Amino acid sequence: MSGNGKTVIISQSDKFLAKSLVSKLEGFGLYSVFVPADINEIKKQVSDMELVVLFMNEELENMPETLVYIKDIVQDKDLGLILIGEDYLFESVKKVMSESNITEWFKRPLDIDALVKRICSYMENNTEENKKKTVLIVDDDITYMRTVSGWLKGKYHVGMASSGVQAISYLAKNKADLVLLDYEMPIANGPQVLSMLKGDVETDMIPVMFLTSKGDRESVMSVIDLKPADYLLKTIDKETLLNKLELFFKNSDLKKRM
């Protein structure tokens, strides 16, 4: 068994148990590393991070800045988070993290075999082929953006940005498999945003579909040279949009395997 990402095991005092977990995971062919609960050390492991396993204790409970940093990277990178600790620590964690950020909680005394099994299951279900795609919606019409987000949330991870600047900022920190981009926006319109994405080596390969009310020939032709993945009108209904995206990702995954 092998995963595409890395399991980062964070512990302040359970170093022996954490390192034992790393060894067990390596026996299953899973890439994992142990790091102390230090923000600078955790930052070094952010690349390819897929799952965080955090050993909770009273010492870490008194390090709120570390917990906030872990919460932020879990949210920003859409990572799994497994926590280990006594019941009373769970209440402490919930003051910093939403329960929706937590994949699972393992109580003490720890059943390490059950933990290893859960990590293996998580990594297997979050391979590149199985994991949910991430779609970033960029639109200054907040109501419409939230409507589309609601359509997609069951099937995709969804990010939202109400301006081109927000979209660029989001993509600087997060991976996206597709951008749904409005045409008419203040400051930087859709074509300008797409041009900026195409001009940056970090974002030039992200496919972009226009989802807009601008359906006239002049608007469509003006972005042809930028090679958007598609040009959809906002009159599209939920079922048709979901079918379009499903077909797009199927074809995209097929091309990657060829």
Classify burial at 123, counting beta carbons within 10 Å of its beta carbon; exposed 0-12, middle 13-18, buried 19 or more.
buried
Please state the rounded mean pLDDT for residues 99-127: 89
Please state the rounded mean pLDDT for residues 208-226: 84
Please state the rounded mean pLDDT for residues 171-199: 89
Residue 210: what pLDDT?
A: 92
**Mean per-residue pLDDT over the chain, rounded:** 88
Residue bearing tokens 């993509």: 171
Distance CA 160, CA 198 (A): 19
Instruction: Identify the CATH assignment for 6-125 out of 3.40.50.2300, 3.40.1380.10, 3.40.50.10860, 3.30.2270.10.
Output: 3.40.50.2300
The sign one gets for the Cα dihedral 168, 170, 176, 178 is negative
Q: Which amino acid is at 117?
A: K
Is there a shared CATH topology between the 6-125 domain and the 134-257 domain? Answer: yes
Inter-helix orientation angle 112-125/15-27, to 10°: 50
Q: What angle do CA 152, 158, 159 make, to 5 degrees?
A: 145
Please state the rounded mean pLDDT for residues 171-183: 89
Asked if residue 1 has pLDDT above 50, the reply is no
> Given phi > 0 = left and psi -120 to 50 = alpha, else beta, which region is 227?
left
Report phi then psi at 104, rounded to 5: -165, 155
Residue 3: what pLDDT?
A: 47
CA atoms within 13 A on the CB side of 204: 4
Asked if residue 257 has pLDDT above 70, the reply is no
Please state the rounded mean pLDDT for residues 88-104: 83
Distance CA 170, CA 239 (A): 27
Contact 204, 191 (CB under 8 A): no
Contact 161, 137 (CB under 8 A): yes
For the chain, which residues make up each domain, given as ranges? 6-125, 134-257
Computed on alpha carbons and rounded to an integer, the radius of gyration of the chain in Å comes to 21
Using a pLDDT cut of 70, give the percent of the chain over it: 95
Answer with the residue of higher pLDDT: 103 or 127: 103
The CATH architecture one would assign to domain 134-257 is: 3-Layer(aba) Sandwich (3.40)
Report pTM.
0.56
Tokens of 218: 């002049």
* Model confidence pLDDT, tens digit, residues 35-59: 999 999 999 998 888 899 999 888 8
Residue 94: what pLDDT?
A: 82
Residue 128: what pLDDT?
A: 60
